[in-house]
Amino acid sequence: METLNVSSYLSDLGFDDRQSEVISVWFKWESTYISGDTAIETVGWMLAQGWTVVNSGSFVSHINTATGETEYTPYYNLLRTYLDAELALQDLVDSYTVAYNEGRTANNTRYDDLIALHSATLSNTESVLESLQTDEDSYESYILSKISSIDFDYTLYYSDIGDPNLDEWYTDARQLINDDYDSRVAAARAEMESTGWYSTSRWSTENTGIESDRTKAIAHLGVEKRKLDIDHRTNSYKLQVDMRKNVIAARDRLMAQLQGLQNDRLTIRNSIAEALAGIVERRTDSYPDIDRIGDLVSRLGAGGTGNFTP
């Protein structure tokens, strides 16, 4: 079995570490100068807008000719910081774009790695299963040849022994019966000749009885021959039927075994294919919403008064 080197299918992304943004550059300074009769009212409103008085005073505006008094006009120097929303938004969008691209690249790379790894696993598994299929085909051919040879061997065996020659056996057995009864006839005739009964009706009666027994013995032999012939044919047919039933059963067991192995291979292959399909099905790409960046900038002041006092 080919070794699967998993690490060779995993890419080293190697992204550089990100540095935090220097947000101080987002804030700018601005100054203003106000004076006049309404300066005091105006400076109160400006303080509410984030301005800070850094210097104040008054200067001679004119001399009242009616009273001779010198009149003064107040002035204020004010300073404040404000958020440069455009710069902040640009920096955030740039950072977002870089992170988005890096994330998508990493996601695509990992996805491609997994697909390649599972595809290689599937291909490797199928190669192994195909080699097993080749071995099983050889095994199947070998077993089927052995099963087929059983039928052939039986046919050869039956051809060797052939049908029993019952006619020959019957002829020999009948001759033995005749020889036996011929001996009985001769013995009975000799005895009657020696005693003087041969020429009487007694010999005819004695001979008739012996011949009757001979006929019965020969008839019984014929029945025995027929019975042996029937038994032989019945047993031969039964043996052939049983043998063929066993051959069919053996083939069925072999087919069931091979089908089970085939199902096991399909289960293994399909489980890998399902895992691969699951990776594809479960992929859900999720990225930051750029609207959140705009919302963040607006919260920092871009959508409000346009200024911010740290």
Q: pLDDT tens across 34-87, in order? A: 998 888 889 989 998 889 999 998 888 777 777 778 888 899 999 998 888 778
Would you state the pLDDT for residue 4?
A: 56
Output the pLDDT for position 75.
92
Count of helices and strands (H, E) across the chain: 5, 3
The reply to whether the predicted model has a pTM over 0.85 is no
pLDDT over 70 percentage in the chain: 75
Q: What is the pLDDT of residue 290?
A: 64
Q: What is the mean pLDDT of residues 102-117?
A: 78
Q: Report the candidate in 12, 233, 255 with the shortest Cα–Cα distance to residue 113.
A: 12
- Which of these, 215, 231, 102, 106, lies nearest to 166 by C-alpha position? 231
Q: How far apart are CA 78 and CA 169, in angstroms?
A: 145
**Measuring CA to CA, how many Å separate 236 from each of 90, 154, 158, 173, 229?**
101, 10, 9, 24, 11
pLDDT tens for residues 222-242? 898 888 888 777 777 777 777
The three-state secondary structure class of 54 is: strand
Give me the residues paired with residue 244 across strands. none
Show the beta-strand stretches assigned E in the chain: 27-35, 52-63, 70-83
Residue 90, pLDDT > 50, answer yes
The beta-carbon contacts of 90-98 under 8 Å, at least 24 apart in sequence, are 91/21, 91/26, 92/293, 92/296, 92/297, 93/290, 93/293, 95/21, 96/288, 96/290, 96/293, 98/18
pLDDT for 55 equals 92
Query: What pLDDT, in 10s, does the model give residues 144-164?
Result: 777 777 666 666 666 655 566
pLDDT at 9: 61
Instruction: Write out the H or E segment, with its range, that includes residue 39.
Output: helix 39-48
Q: State residue 250's pLDDT score.
A: 76
Q: Report the C-alpha gap between 76 and 56 in whole angstroms.
A: 4
User: What pLDDT does residue 279 have?
Assistant: 66
pLDDT at residue 84 in the model: 81
What's the pLDDT score for residue 163?
A: 60
Of 226 and 199, the structure prediction assigns the larger pLDDT to: 226
pLDDT higher at 239 or 299: 239
Q: What is the pLDDT of residue 302?
A: 38
**pLDDT at residue 306 above 60?**
no
| Mean pLDDT computed over 89-116 | 79
When mean pLDDT is compared over 76-90, 110-124, 163-177, the highest value belongs to 76-90
Compute the average pLDDT of residues 124-130: 74
Taking the domains of the chain in order of start, what are their residue ranges?
26-83, 118-279
Contact 37, 295 (CB under 8 A): no
Q: Tell me, what's the pLDDT at 197?
A: 77
| Token code pair at residue 92 | 């955030």
Predicted confidence at residue 52, as pLDDT, reads 92
The answer to whether residue 310 scores a pLDDT higher than 60 is no
Fold entry, domain 26-83? Dodecin subunit-like (3.30.1660)
